[in-house]
Structure 1
Amino acid sequence: MAYEAVRIHITGVVQGVGFRPYVYNLAMRHKVSGWVANDGSGVELVAEGWQAAVDGFVAAIRQQAPPLAVIESLTVTPCEPGNYAGFQIRTSVTGQAKTALISPDVATCAHCRGELLEPTDRRYRYPFINCTNCGPRYTIIQDIPYDRRKTTMREFAMCPACQAEYDDPASRRFHAQPNACPVCGPAYVLLDREGRELKPQGQDPPAMAARLIAQGSILAIKGLGGYHLAVNARDEAAVAHLRQRKVREDKPFAVMAGSLAAIQKHCLASAAEVELLTSAAGPIVLLAKGACYDLASSIAPGNPYIGVMLPYAPVHYLLLKAEDVWVMTSGNLADEPIAYQDEDARRRLSAIADYYLIHNRAIHCRADDSVIRIVQDKPYFIRRSRGYVPAPVNLSRELPAVLAVGAELKNTFCLIRGRQAFLSSHTGDLENLPTYQSYLAAIEHLKNLLAVTPEVVAYDLHPEYLSTKYAVALALPGVPVQHHHAHIAAVMAEHHLTGPVIGLAFDGTGYGPDGSLWGGEFLVADLRQYRRAGHLAYMPLPGGAKAIREPWRLAVCLLKELYGQDFAALDIPLTRNLPPGWELVLAAAEKGINTPQTSGAGRLFDAVAALLGIRLQINYEGQAAVELELAARGFRGQVLPYAIQESNGLLVFDYKPLVMTICQGIRRGIACGQLAADFHTTLAAATCEITLRISRVTGLKSVALSGGVFQNITLLTQIIGMLGQYDFSLYLHRQSPPNDGGLALGQAVIAGERSN
């Protein structure tokens, strides 16, 4: 039998996940010699021994990877034997190109949870317990290879006991970079509003914090990726105080439950939802409230759904008992980024929090909680952040290095490296200066971490987006990308579609090349170009952005167009109590003063919500559309009259007959919920008809759905059901959000294809 030696190089998520000790133990088992080390692109190793042993060793690497590892490539090349004495884990190789993948932050594993709550364990109630299978990754890493000296843990020298674990290949904590214990690691302190430390007798800071929550206090809690604001979810007064202080009038809060049993007491959870809740990513999952739901009504007022998560950091298990449910919302003021630096948090949250539970391990990258719901038994992102970033979206082919700067709202940016697209964590709305500053810093950090020097920058057509202005100012070739083409390209990239496809891009507003605001678009698109095949009829947007905040403006203009000057005599709730200034709004609209035209599907939702008296002005983005969908729950919709016209070669959905029929229904006393359901069903039917007509002309059978309106699950499922009766292949977002949080992915791929 031959004696042989091989050099093996492995790429993927193979650093910080226990890969080297895994390889070491495999080598011991298969009796091969050599060494293993991290390098800038992954893991490098040499193995030598008898041929059967080496072959078995290589096969085992492929088949038995650690739980958090993702092997993307494994190359084996013969090399000269080095006559090694045994197998070693070597120091990381530096100075090479940095292409290794970084693991997202990972929820506390079962082994660590057991030790955390075991009184005899040396890490009993230690809120930073972790191992190679769990704990912080992306939020503490400053550079790669992923070694302790390149993380925010470098400030904490390990005690002899921790160092022994760290050096022992047989230990679950071998080279676990955040490894620590109460003797040598970071610690929590509890502060009052003035910054004075509270030192409770006989209680550690988390135990005292839990007692304060039980007494009705609001706590700012520093976690993995930033600060949360927490209150007892059963305390109506405390939740109301938090809502008032945070300046968050209606938008639902998320909650954290101490156990899955506590979630199931209050909510309905399918098998797919339970799997997501208990996954290593630990996202917020949107669940339907159950019959026994009895949390504070102001958590999610008027909403049958609530965002729920389980504890994912050790401190959460110390704070919440199994039966507890706490509001756990982002530590920020409205529209600001989540606070993650201690002094900034103390300053920005001083008007909200009564107490601060703070630790002294720096967070290098902020990461808000991810938000997901289950659609057709699969995850459907609303926000992609902690637990998923910076895992890449794998592309169908290699593309040039691109920076895509994203949109203005729900911003993320994207970097392409070869065949991988890296979407950033959720940034937020760039209209806010602190968010914009955070955005600029995050771009520079991710460029450095991935060792990407962009050759091209992709940006939205809207000239007033701050992201667009930033991109145009860069000394890089620029590729402007139409908003809705980017939405469709994002879905295509996820599913490795090269096109063309029929793209349904429904959102509020996105800049169109004709100078109007698009948003109800039927495209024929591939990854380089698109053509507009259809759209919703245009409507005036009186006051521009003000009409988005005050949907009654849209409704009044629609009524005037349908009924003329006598519309105010209509006996419907809106006309009985017209908001002040409506005459001026109409006068300005008629003269075209600050009244752009929009085909936005989101704006049509807003107008109908106002007509039905559901929402005349909003307190958070999309509120009118959300409440219109909620009103339709429990009603079976029917198709009301509508028209599809042809104009300049485009199919145009004329919704005026639909709106007029809804007004007639209001006057006849038909239930608001029934009319809301009819609106959804009619829009779905019109969408299906236009799609079919485009398909007959083009022969296309692949349909991609994207845009923020497709967060409306009622509309989405009805369209899927109607199109499903025909021979279509339907593609939804699965790795990025349908809203503008996924836009940068599409921008990046389009720019990469055009530059290739």
Structure 2
Amino acid sequence: MSAPPPGAALTAPRRRVRVTVRGVVQGVGFRPFVHGLATELSLAGQVTNTGDGVVVEVEGPPDAVDRFCARVAPDAPPLAHVESVDTTDLPATGGDGFTIVASDPTGPVRTLVAPDTATCADCLAELADPADRRHRHAFITCTHCGPRFTIVTGLPYDRAHTTMSGFPLCPRCDREYHDPGDRRFHAQPVACPDCGPRLRLVLADAGAAASRELDPVDEARALLAAGAIVAVKGIGGYHLACDATQPEAVAELRRRKARGDKPFALMAADVAAVEHLVHLDAAERELLTGRARPVVLLRRRPPVRPAPGRPVPADAVAPGSPDLGVMLPYTPVHHLLLGAADRGARTAAPRLLVMTSGNLSGEPIVTDDGEALDRLAGLADAWLLHDRPVHVPCDDSVVRVCDGRPLVLRRSRGYAPLPVTLPVPVAPALAVGGDLKNVFCLGRGDRAWLSAHVGDMDDLATQHAFGRAERQLESITGVRPELLVTDTHPAYRSAAWARRHAGGRPVARVQHHHAHIAAVLAEHGVEDGRRVIGVAFDGTGHGTDGTVWGGEFLLADYDGFDRFAHLAQVPLPGGDAAVRRPYRMALAHLRAAGVAAAADLPCVAACPDGELPLLTRQLERGLNCVPTSSMGRLFDAVSSLAGVCHHAGYEAQAAIELEAAAVSAGCEDDDPRYTFRLTRGEGPGDAPLAADPAPLLAAAVDDVRLGVPAATVAVRFHLAVARLVRTVCGAARETAGLETVALTGGVFANVLLSSACARGLRADGFTVLRHQRIPPNDGGLALGQLVVAARTAATGR
């Protein structure tokens, strides 16, 4: 074979392609990955960040360019999420070498920001290595882990557009940052002890300006061991921490925070620290140890005694709860507090810490250091803080596993701001959600961005936090809302915020339970026009008739709904007072059922002296008694009737403790006496069915008087509600021919009920849709509001 003629290599075919990659592709090591892939394939070109995503130009032999395009999505870095790859052919230029060029800040914003991610194994190894220059560095990070969402101030994602912009890189970090072969190549939060943020410890008894010169982490651990409460600054704000094994410390934190009996979350050093306390299946273990590191609600095992390596939390950590909320460390500071890199440490590391949001009850999580020293004064004995600013607050996410699948109850750190892909297009819009567990939602086209958990909107500071978070999410999504969407409740503060900030833009309103059902439909990608039987059970929602709804069976799609059935209405005596005092709901339900409120019933005994006659007259006359069909309030009533919970110090306490009682029964006990009587409601034509719990309540009263354990009453009640769902959905199928049931609303955070309902419905041949990635409670409400109202605007309906 003859040799090729001179210059043949220069005339070999070359191809140049522009590749635009959209999705979570900034701040996750994507440009370094592209550089490495192009170099491996001997391609020339460049890569840059833009508001549209990562834009690559590659040039070389056509087969090498084809291999690049085929691998750019499937071989992407672990934190990347590629949504689309578009290619355009360009004229070849004949250049050589591949470079990373400066980001282009012009053009529309279409890229996605990554969530904050737990410290990776490589960084943890360096953290614990005395020979590594980042040994015990509390801000160790790389392209595969660390803060993202909470430090981003704008796009494209570069160090100048993060809260790390105030920390110039030292020469060694700068070399790593610009070395394509280094794990920290273009890692925007990169730093080291020479150039990065600093930890310091501030003591309450020494004044805000005083701190010790010793290692702040060691000193914080010494304080925790002595029973102190320490405010610890993390990625998305402050936690209040104490040693979870010390009853006095836990009780004091509960007292200072005015927490009532609401469970605290635990942070465990590792899985081994909790395996003896909770049941752990493969799905729960994966959630605990994954990149998001949420709080995972885990079913408790029977009580055990403390032993070496087997710490036991104080009873006051989660009184009355069937679960322990557990998370593992997700920042270097947490790892150091819990014993990573512990060689030579002065104080033994705790194995279990209470880690609860750094705030007063009802207020948003604190992020600013000055605010922390002010607002957490009186709560904390010391502050372990640092000087890397938190741009947007982000509380811990909360997840549990239901029938082997994750069920997100609070979608925040580790998940926000990942978008939801919508089955229907929406106009640019902002849905503001509800007033409890507030989460708002921005949408445009086929994407929706849910915010991190904001909180309860009854506090002015939370409303200010809402505004700051909304502006930040607009800035990183590029969505400029043309429509605002609210709940129909006339007194919701979220709706008032929308009206104040509308600026001439239209404000649409969506009924509460319709929004819940639309949210689960959108999550499952249900197409426009497909109707389902929506079962929406919660505590409170403003109904179209002006009453309080919450036990609803709706025949619904995105366009609208018909109310097919509901729980029979009872008076809500005193409004919110009845929510805080479940015995009031028990008495209201007993009266509606025609059951005498005798002194031998626990709910009557719990009624304070002198209140029963007043409450009786209030119910007789209907004074301050809005009718309610709420399933959440029925759970409250049965909880008090069975003697489980008479006073609720936090939302859904009575229902949570009733679930705990049912779980403790250890077996199913389906008693046919526990049933609902279905009647046709008053009104013309096809009035909704009403599910009257009178027979169920009469049976429960009989059991209580016979001394039947509260656990048995609780499990019989749960199974009766599941039977009601099967019965009504069967009737709806006969009437409307629908074969799909969507279960939604805060009551379905109860996995015992959710599982029983789904099991029965599937046995009856239904397709069952339940939440997984979007909370069933009001934390998912904004997504439903968006697809109902903005979809209507987008399609002109």
Residue 542 (str. 1) matches residue 568 (str. 2):
no
State the one-letter code of the partner of 1:382: L
| 1:136 pairs with 2:147 | yes
Report deviation, 1:612.
1.7
* Aligned residue identity for 1:729: T
**Distance apart, 1:477 and its partner CA:** 1.2
Q: Is the 8 A contact 1:200 1:208 kept in 2?
A: no
Decide whether the 8 Å contact of 1:41 with 1:101 is kept in 2.
no
Judge conservation of contact 1:256–1:325 (CA < 8 Å) in 2.
yes
TM-score (norm 1): 0.98
User: 1:611, 1:361 → 2: CA distance?
Assistant: 51
Alignment of 1:222-261 (within 5 A): 222-261=233-272
- Contact (CA 8 Å) 1:251, 1:619: kept in 2 or not? yes
C-alpha separation in 1, matches of 2:771 and 2:480: 28
Q: Distance in 2 between matches of 1:161 and 1:254?
A: 39
Relative to the length of structure 2, the TM-score reads 0.93
Structure 2 counterpart of 1:690? 728
Is 1:4–2:42 an aligned residue pair?
A: no
2:540·2:548 contact (CA, 8 Å) conserved in 1? yes
Alignment gaps of 5+ in structure 2: 1-11, 306-311, 341-349
Q: Is the 8 A contact 2:583 2:606 kept in 1?
A: no
- Whether contact under 8 Å (1:455, 1:476) holds in the other structure is yes
User: Which of 646, 654, 658 is 1:616 aligned to?
Assistant: 646
Alignment of 1:50-69 (within 5 A): 50-69=61-80
1:230-272 CA-to-partner distances (Å, cap 9, x unmatched) read: 1111111111111111111201100111112112233221111
Q: 1:570 to 1:218 in 2, by over 3 A?
A: closer
Amino acid at match of 2:709: A
Give the alignment of 1:118-137 within 5 angstroms.
118-137=129-148
Residue 4 of structure 2 corresponds to none
What stretches of structure 1 of length at least 5 have no aligned partner?
none
Q: CA deviation at 1:210?
A: 1.1
**One-letter amino acid of the counterpart of residue 556, structure 1:** L
| Separation in 2, partners of 1:377, 1:559 | 38
3-state DSSP of counterpart to 1:243: helix
User: Mean Cα displacement is larger for which, 664-673 or 379-388?
Assistant: 664-673
1:663 aligns with 2:692: no
Please, which of 491, 497, 511 is the counterpart of residue 526 of structure 2? 497
- Superimposed CA distance per residue, residues 452-510 of structure 1 (whole angstroms, 9 cap, x where no aligned partner): 11111111000100011122331211211000000010000011113211101000010
For residues 699-734 of structure 1, give each alpha carbon's deviation from its aligned partner in whole angstroms, at most 9, with x where no partner exists: 111111110000111111111111121211111111
Match of 1:373 in 2: 400
Give the letter aligned to residue 604 of structure 2.
Answer: T
Percent identity among equivalent residues?
45
2:771 counterpart of 1:733: yes
Is the CA contact (8 Å cut-off) linking 1:637 and 1:680 kept in structure 2?
Answer: no
Could you tell me which residue of structure 1 aligns to residue 436 of structure 2?
409
Tell me, yes or no, if structure 1 residue 713 matches structure 2 residue 751. Answer: yes
Q: Deviations over 1:544-590 (max 9, x none)?
A: 111111122222222333347xx244532333453232222222232
Structure 2 vs 1, CA of residues 578 and 316 (structure 1 numbering), >3 Å: closer, same or farther? closer
The CA deviation at 1:672 is 1.6
Structure-2 residue corresponding to 1:644: 678
Offset of 1:302 from its aligned partner? 2.8
Counterpart Cα distance in 2 of 1:158 and 1:115: 19
CA positional deviation for 1:321? 2.3
Give the deviation of 1:603 after TM superposition: 0.6
Contact 1:522 1:532 in 2 (8 A): yes
Counterparts of 1:441 and 1:63 in 2: how far apart (Å)? 36
Q: 1:144, 1:177 → 2: CA distance? A: 12
Partner Cα separation in structure 2 for residue 134 and residue 573 of structure 1? 53
After superposing the two structures, state which structure 1 stretch, 667-676 or 422-431, moved more: 667-676
Q: Deviations over 1:99-153 (max 9, x none)?
A: 1100000100000000001000000000000000000000000000001011110
Give the aligned residue type for 2:793: S
Cα shift at 1:333: 1.1
C-alpha separation in 2, matches of 1:85 and 1:569: 90
Pairing 1:192-231 to 2, within 5 Å after superposition? 192-193=203-204, 194-201=207-214, 204-231=215-242
> What is the number of residues matched between the two proteins?
752
Q: 2:334 aligns with which of 311, 316, 325?
A: 316
What SS is found at the alignment partner of 1:480? strand
The answer to whether structure 1 residue 579 and structure 2 residue 611 are counterparts is no
Query: Which residue in 1 is equivalent to 2:5?
Result: none
Structure 1 residues 154, 380: closer, same or farther in 2, change over 3 A?
same
Q: How much does 1:77 deviate?
A: 1.1
Q: Is the 8 A contact 1:637 1:679 kept in 2?
A: no
**Shift in Å, 1:329:** 0.8
User: Contact between 2:150 and 2:236, CA under 8 Å: does it hold in 1?
Assistant: yes
The Cα of 1:735 is off from its aligned counterpart by 1.5
**Structure 1 partner of 2:309:** none
Is 1:284 aligned to 2:272, yes or no? no
Between the aligned partners of 2:606 and 2:212, the Cα distance in structure 1 is 57
Q: Distance in 1 between matches of 2:466 and 2:171?
A: 40
Alignment check: 8 A CA contact 1:543 1:585 kept:
no
Match of 1:681 in 2: 719
The residue aligned with 1:186 is 197
Compute the displacement of 1:419 (Å).
0.9
Distance 1:577 1:299 in 2: 25
1:479 to 483, 504, 508: 508
Residue 600 of structure 1: aligned partner: 630
Aligned to 1:297: 315
Q: 339, 345, 354: which one pairs with 2:372? A: 345
CA distance in 1, matches of 2:44, 2:269: 47
Q: Is the 8 A contact 2:572 2:625 kept in 1?
A: yes
Deviation of 1:72 (Å): 0.4
How far off is 1:197 after superposition? 3.3
* 1:501-522 superposed Cα distances (whole Å, 9 cap, x missing partner): 1101000010001000110000
How far does residue 52 in structure 1 lie from its aligned partner after superposition?
1.0
Indicate the RMSD between aligned Cα atoms, in angstroms: 1.4
Say yes or no: does 1:420 pair with 2:447: yes
Is the partner of 2:768 in helix, strand or coil?
strand
* Counterpart code for 1:619: G
Name the CA distance, whole Å, in 2 between partners of 1:95 and 1:563.
Answer: 70
How many Å apart are 1:537 and its aligned residue? 0.4
Q: Contact (CA 8 Å) 2:269, 2:329: kept in 1 or not?
A: yes
Which whole-Å CA distance do the structure 2 matches of 1:337 and 1:577 have between them?
A: 33
- 1:437 and 2:469 aligned: no
Separation of aligned partners in 1, 2:644 and 2:277: 27
Structure 2: how far apart are the matches of 1:197 and 1:185?
A: 22
Q: Distance between the aligned counterparts of 1:272 and 1:705, measured in 2?
A: 22
Whole-Å separation in 2 of the counterparts to 1:461 and 1:351: 39
Q: Deviations over 1:46-92 (max 9, x none)?
A: 11111111111111212211101111000111111122221111100
Equivalent of 1:145, from 128, 140, 156? 156
**Of 486, 499, 517, which aligns to 1:488?**
517
Stretch of structure 1 that moved more, 262-271 or 176-185: 262-271
Specify which of 40, 45, 49 is matched with residue 34 of structure 1.
45
Query: Once structures 1 and 2 are overlaid, which stretch shifts more, 502-511 or 437-446?
Result: 437-446
Q: Secondary structure at the match of 1:693?
A: helix
Q: Distance in 2 between matches of 1:283 and 1:552?
A: 34
Q: Distance in 2 between matches of 1:569 and 1:118?
A: 69
Distance in 2 between residues matched to 1:750 and 1:397, nearest whole Å: 10
Q: 1:491 and 1:674 mapped to 2: Cα distance? A: 32
Q: Match of 1:736, as an amino acid?
A: I
- CA distance in 1 between counterparts of 2:76 and 2:589 reads 60
Cα separation, 2, equivalents of 1:570 and 1:355: 50
Which whole-Å deviations, capped at 9, do the CAs of 1:661-680 have from their partners, x for residues lacking one? Answer: 11111122222211111111
Q: SS where residue 541 of structure 1 aligns? A: strand
